Chains A and B, each alone.
Chain A
């Protein structure tokens, strides 16, 4: 049997392999694309943001809590200074967008969606490190549906919606995104967390609370992917604690079509290079000729009509 094919696609965008970075966990202009199949930008907002005061990160068992606060140069500078160079990376670029109102999102989506350097849009409605806007939209099904509808109208590119696991019913939010016309979902964003300074007994991070990531959150992420896929059947970029080829296979089985790596890139930027050959071996061991054959296999068999 020939070795499995790692090439795949998401919403019509062709990728050399199913690995991407989580938004905000790689600066491709500084470090390159590390062998990933696509690059997801750090979330861009209409206006520049300095980000939260330090400390911004705290290590926790098998992970970390961060409170970066969506530091970014703003839409105008991003489009002028970053996008032209991102367009030369040689991999599809997924532009992540955040905002404080639907019109802020819509403005950014219209601008980014018209740029030839961008292959798809990610709507970040789940950042835990800002006080309103992003985070509150992604906790409310009605706001999520309305935002996706509004942004869909601004672009012909695939629109993916990045969701938080820190909600009562992630399937309900995923369904709302699907009803709004999302082409795909990205989950999970970080899990809301807090780290306490062991000496001062006060919140350790400058922003107070933060978002937990790393291997500690993997079961939470798998649960969210599993139920979002069961509820919507949409293509999903699954992420949360991915640190090995085996983790990738588990996310595919739960329903992901692509797999994101985040915190583990910090620990080892060469991880994608090591995962890819192992992923081929694991696919072969499970008798799969390509990525698509394992997507959703963890679910009980249902007819496609019940998922539509």
Chain B
């Protein structure tokens, strides 16, 4: 499939959410895809120091808005947080498969950013419980965007502690966060025989299968995360 056309979307608002930054774009009504898919974002004009786009999954989409929660750390994210318009390519990749029934959402750090939209999608189909882990209370402020009733763990407590208390469960686990957290979540779910989907992250130059930069161990070999994922069944990563 040819990559979707790049759209230029105006920035409606940029808001601090604790340590993170919420970038709200005015949407042009194009199909936003499903939670867990991602978009390649580039500030317009792009600074020379950050030539490549950033791969980011939406915090939510709909009602004329496409929103992203950013961890502003370098030139690329800084430029996005200052932009008046953003070049948006996507959605691309495979998102979460929403399974009817109860759900447990697990987020670690900026991985929580993609869960608000997923929770809205899942809520009509069953009970949704949320466990989130953060480095500091300032990072945890965004928990309110995901689920006002979320259980929040702050380091040194890890998110796997509250998750372990919810298992076993007749539910699907949906997780997004750093690699080591995802590995631990996948192992816990395997132990309790609970189905689990992981939204993974990898450094990515293109987002459409061209650069081979986003290699992740899937099915026991290095595969392109942008083509296979970014949402992958946990069993394929543990293999």
Q: List A contacts of B210 (CB < 8 A).
A: 25-27, 30-31, 265-266, 269
In the complex, are the beta carbons of B49 and A266 less than 8 A apart? no
Closest to A57 in B: B213
Majority SS at the chain B contact face: loop
Q: Is residue A193 within 8 Å, beta carbon to beta carbon, of the partner chain?
A: no
Interface centre among A26, A66, A263, A269 (most CB of B within 10 A): A269
Are A64 and B227 CB-contacts (below 8 A) given A265-B210, A268-B6? no
Specify which of A55, A58, A68, A265 is in contact with B212 (CB 8 Å cutoff).
Answer: A68
1/0 per residue, CB under 8 A from B, across A18-32: the answer is 000000111100111
- Spot the interface stretch: B11-19, B120-128, B199-207: B199-207
In the docked arrangement, what's the CA distance between A55 and B211, Å? 12
Q: A51-B222, A59-B76 are in contact. Are A266 and B3 (CB under 8 A)?
A: no
Q: A24-B212, A30-B209 are in contact. Are A50 and B48 (CB under 8 A)?
A: no
A306 to B84, CA, bound (A): 55
Interface size on B, residues (CB 8 A): 33
Question: Using a CB-CB cutoff of 8 Å, which residues 64-103 of chain B contact chain A?
Answer: 76, 87, 89
Known: A27-B209, A59-B52. A50 touches B221 (CB 8 A): yes
Closest to A204 in B: B203
Is the C-beta of A82 less than 8 angstroms from some C-beta in chain B? no
Are A267 and B52 in contact (CB-based, < 8 A)? yes
Q: Knowing A71-B222, A267-B42, say if A56 contacts B48 (CB, 8 Å).
A: no
Given A30-B209, A269-B3, A270-B5, do A63 and B51 touch, yes or no (CB 8 Å)? yes
A57 interface neighbour in B211, B216, B221, Cβ under 8 Å: B211
Q: How far is the CA of A56 from the CA of B209 in the complex (A)?
A: 14
Write out the residue numbers on chain A whose beta carbons fall within 8 Å of the beta carbon of B215. Answer: 51, 53-54, 56, 71
> Is B2 a contact of A31 with CB atoms below 8 Å?
yes
Do B206 and A266 have beta carbons less than 8 Å apart?
Answer: yes
Query: A212-235 CB contact bits vs B (8 Å, 1 = yes)?
Result: 001100000000000000000000
- Is A34 among interface residues, defined by CB-CB distance under 8 A? yes
- Tell me the A115-162 residues at the B interface (CB within 8 Å): none
Contact present for B2 and A59 (CB under 8 Å): no
Contacts of A268 in B (CB 8 A): 6, 87
Determine whether the beta carbon of A54 is less than 8 Å from that of B203.
yes
CA distance A25 to B205 in the complex (A): 10
The residue on B at minimum CB distance from A30 is B209
- The reply to whether the CB of A61 lies closer than 8 angstroms to some CB of chain B is yes
A62 at the interface (CB under 8 A from B): yes
Q: In the complex, A68 Cα to B87 Cα: how many Å?
A: 27
Q: Are B208 and A64 in contact (CB under 8 A)?
A: no
From the candidates A34, A42, A62, name the one contacting B48 in the complex (CB within 8 A).
A62
Contact, CB under 8 Å: A51 / B212: yes
Q: What is the bound-complex CA distance between A30 and B221, given in angstroms? A: 19
- Alpha-carbon gap, A267 to B49, bound state (A): 13
Question: Measured between alpha carbons, how far is A68 from B222 in the docked complex, in Å?
Answer: 11
Tell me the nearest residue of chain B to A214, going by C-beta: B51
Roughly how many angstroms separate A297 CA and B212 CA in the complex, as a whole number?
36
For the complex formed, measure the closest distance between the CB of B53 and the CB atoms of chain A, giving whole angstroms.
Answer: 6
**What are the residues of chain B within 8 A of A27 when measuring CB–CB?**
209-210
Q: Is the CB of A30 within 8 A of B213?
A: no
A130 smallest CB distance to B (angstroms): 14
Q: Which residues of A contact B89 (CB under 8 A)?
A: 269
Cβ–Cβ < 8 Å partners of B181 in chain A: none
Interface residues of B in 117-143 (CB under 8 A from A): none
Residues of chain A with a CB closer than 8 A to B216's CB: 54
- A34–B2 Cα distance when bound, in Å, is 7
A50: contacting residue among B5, B53, B87, B222, CB under 8 A: B222
Which residues of A have CB within 8 Å of B49?
61-62
Q: A30 to B228: give the CA distance in the assembly, Å.
A: 12
19 contacts between A and B (CB under 8 A): A24-B212, A30-B208, A31-B3, A31-B209, A51-B215, A53-B215, A54-B216, A57-B205, A59-B52, A59-B76, A64-B51, A68-B213, A71-B212, A214-B51, A263-B51, A263-B205, A265-B206, A266-B211, A267-B51
User: B residues within 8 Å of A by Cβ?
Assistant: 1-3, 5-6, 42, 46, 48-53, 76, 87, 89, 202-206, 208-216, 221-222, 227
Extra contacts, 17 of them, besides A24-B212, A53-B222, A54-B222 (Cβ < 8 A), are: A30-B1, A30-B208, A30-B209, A54-B202, A54-B214, A56-B213, A56-B215, A57-B205, A57-B211, A64-B205, A66-B205, A266-B52, A266-B206, A266-B211, A267-B52, A268-B6, A269-B210
